[in-house]
Amino acid sequence: SQKIEQNSEALNIQEGKTATLTCNYTNYSPAYLQWYRQDPGRGPVFLLLIRENEKEKRKERLKVTFDTTLKQSLFHITASQPADSATYLCAPSAAGYNKLIFGAGTRLAVHP
Amino acid sequence: GAVVSQHPSWVICKSGTSVKIECRSLDFQATTMFWYRQFPKQSLMLMATSNEGSKATYEQGVEKDKFLINHASLTLSTLTVTSAHPEDSSFYICSVPTHGPYEQYFGPGTRLTVT
């Protein structure tokens, strides 16, 4: 069955450093991979989408990579700030298929 | 993107009663909406796909007679939790997928507590 793995342990980093979060998937051949941010008690917010033919995508301080051979996506936040503290969810998806299955998420805590 | 609202933001009800949650797409005509449930410290679990003008599609293990979904217009989907029990207490979130690669825009969620 399809499986999505994200680090279940919280990631604690110092302000200004780069945070790197990992999303691994098995039994999947996604055409896209999406990343979302979720704050406690709120709905997720869409951040970035990367296609299978794109190796890397950037948006401001965010960078996502997508390695279909390793079946892995990495999500980077550079120059992290305490306001970046949240849970980050990944969701691979097939082409032409808008139903998303989310990973469990990784909680990021950025300390001043 | 799409702006999505939910109502109510939180609700407390007694065991055995029914509760209706509304999801509105404020600026996007949504033929499809999704309903998720999230328990504390867990990820979102897709419950069902709401289809405008037709029956909803439920995920495996979700009781369609317990979680009634109605998608009567392009801007409104409702989820009714019937005969609610304490184990139905959860955070219910809806989302609207946009065109193309289908990134989703989520509502703020509804916290349901069944006593």
Residues of chain B with pLDDT under 50: none
CB spacing of B95 vs A43 below 8 angstroms: yes
Is B90 exposed, middle or buried, given 0-12, 13-18 or 19+ CB atoms closer than 10 A?
buried
- pLDDT, one tens digit per residue, over A60-93 is 999 999 999 999 999 999 999 999 999 999 999 8
Can you tell me the distance from the alpha carbon of B45 to that of B56, in angstroms, rounded to the nearest whole number?
A: 16
Interface test with A, best of B4, B58, B92, B103 (most A CBs within 10 A): B103
Mean pLDDT of A1-9: 85
Work out the mean pLDDT of chain B and round it to a whole number.
93
Give the residue from chain B lying closest to A97, CA to CA.
Answer: B102
Q: Determine phi and psi for B86, rounding to 5 degrees.
A: -55, -35
- Residue B87 sits at φ, ψ, to 5 deg, of -70, -10
pLDDT at B72: 84
Partners of A101 on chain B (C-beta within 8 Å) are 46
The helix/strand/coil state of A108 is: strand
